Amino acid sequence: MAIDMLKDFLDSDGALCIGDTEEIIRNVSARIKEWRAGGNPIIYIMDRHLPQDAEFKMFPPIAWRENRAAKWWLNWPRKKVI
């Protein structure tokens, strides 16, 4: 399961960048590659908001539905299941 691998969290100019993310991205990418090689599915979970969401009273606007920051950081091939 890959959770919140979003540009707003992982890009250095993201609204809530968590800091040095190169090692995180490298490790997550390697685990996904290994898991897929075994024929296993990957489940992606992401944060996504509308501009008026109440969460923005506590945090800067992140992962807006319409902007690039809500997109996955890596261009992993995805297959929609649901």
Instruction: For residue range 14-38, list pLDDT tens digits in order.
Output: 888 888 888 998 898 899 889 989 9
pLDDT at 82 over 50: no
- In which domain, by residue range, is 64 found? 2-70
Helix (H) or strand (E) holding 41: none
pLDDT, residue 56, reads 79
Residue 79 domain flag: no
Instruction: For residue range 38-68, list pLDDT tens digits in order.
Output: 999 888 877 777 778 888 788 877 766 555 5
Split into its structural domains, the chain has a count of 1
pLDDT, residue 34, reads 93
pTM of the model: 0.66
pLDDT, greater one: 77 or 18: 18
